[in-house]
Amino acid sequence: MQTEKVKSIFEFTATDLNGNEVQLERYRGSVCLIVNFSTKDATFDKVLSLLTPLYRKYHNDSRKDLNVLFFPCFQFGAKESTDEMVKRLESATGGPIGEIFAEIEVNGSKAPGLYKYLKAKKPGNCGGFVNSNFTLFLTDRQGVPVERLNAGIHPYTLEDMIENLLR
């Protein structure tokens, strides 16, 4: 798939932890945060303290306005097992705060089409290169990337961005 012809993330699939292909179309109508991560990364706790309250506010029994899509990536540090990763993520947040997909590489020839598309639409200041874990791509309800953020974003700023996309 040529990323320059793609209109949204909904044209992609991602592999879940059980090896199943998931159509990202299922997230149509919600704002998405797409995050590459490692639980061994130094910013892990900081980012989870940012994402957890937002996920709980916008994705609960009464509303599903925000989805967080986590993509394990070990290009920037130590590798970990799937079980270890899921346990650490869920114990740090008191339960699931999004969906965890299979491990990917975010840079290079092995990067999935989704990440090639995200980087093409929002190259950031690294020329289309993801330089660390916890690079966040924010999409609108139509699956179009609108922001590329880093782990240092202020919680209120991110919440304001999400609120604006939900209006």
Distance, in Å, from the CA atom of 138 to the CA atom of 144, rounded to the nearest integer, reads 8
What DSSP character marks residue 76? T
Q: How distant is the alpha carbon of residue 153 from its chain centre?
A: 14
User: What pLDDT score was predicted for residue 103?
Assistant: 93
User: What pLDDT score was predicted for residue 151?
Assistant: 86
User: What pLDDT score was predicted for residue 114?
Assistant: 97
User: What pLDDT score was predicted for residue 40?
Assistant: 85
CB-CB contact of 39 with 89 (8 Å): yes
Cβ-proximal residues to 17 (8 Å cutoff; 6+ apart), any chain: 82, 86, 100, 101, 102
User: What pLDDT score was predicted for residue 1?
Assistant: 62
Half-sphere exposure of 16 (CA within 13 A, CB side): 8
Among 64, 46, 27, 63, CA closest to 136: 46
Q: Number of helices (H) and strands (E) in the chain: give both, helices first.
A: 4, 7
- Per run of 10 residues, the mean pLDDT along the chain (length 167 residues) is 85 95 97 93 88 93 94 87 84 84 95 96 88 94 97 92 96
Among 31, 131, 49, CA closest to 89: 49
Domains, the chain, ordered by start: 13-166 (3.40.30.10)
User: What pLDDT score was predicted for residue 35?
Assistant: 96
